[in-house]
Amino acid sequence: MGYKGEARYVSFQWTSYGDEADYYDGRLGSSDSEASHALILDRDKHKVSIASVKEARVFLSEQWPSQPPVRMRKEEYLAMLSEMLKNVKQPENIDIEQIQRQIEEQYKMIEEMQMWLDKGLKN
């Protein structure tokens, strides 16, 4: 379904933004969705569970070590942001064929996930 992070647990839910599946792992952000429930995949045990989106987000966030909040003055934040923006580089060449390959790979992963889920429903 396109997830390339390191989390053991990942949830998937439908979003009307683009009419597609969306994922959340408790750390990596993604588009907000309108789903009421999420499918949670345990990538180690290859098992899935269903939970409300709110419960899934709490569960997924808890798989990561807690981090202290970042505190800085407005001036520090603006200096950091300015430095980061200086280092942003625009892509020189956009490889349309590579983008197409990635899209096809994602569709293949979604198809494989659907077949795996269908197989689980039959058992």
pLDDT in tens, 30-71: 555 466 778 888 989 988 898 888 898 899 899 989 888 889
Contact 24, 40 (CB under 8 A): no
Whether residue 44 is contained in a domain is answered as yes
Its domain, for residue 23, covers 9-95
- The Cα 39–Cα 52 span in angstroms is 9
9's tokens: 């647990």
Whether residue 116 is contained in a domain is answered as no
> For the stretch 70-96, what's the b/e string if a residue is b when 16 or more beta carbons lie within 10 angstroms of its beta carbon?
eeeeeeeeeeeeeeeeeeeeeeeeeee
Residue 16 has pLDDT above 50, yes or no: yes
Whether residue 102 is contained in a domain is answered as no
Whether residue 77 is contained in a domain is answered as yes
Whether residue 26 is contained in a domain is answered as yes
Whether residue 45 is contained in a domain is answered as yes
C-alpha dihedral sign at 43, 49, 50, 51: negative
Whether residue 3 is contained in a domain is answered as no
List of E strands, 26-87: 37-42, 47-52
pLDDT at position 73: 93
Number of separate domains in the chain: 1
Whether residue 55 is contained in a domain is answered as yes
Neighbours of 45 (CB within 10 A): 8
The pTM for the full model equals 0.46
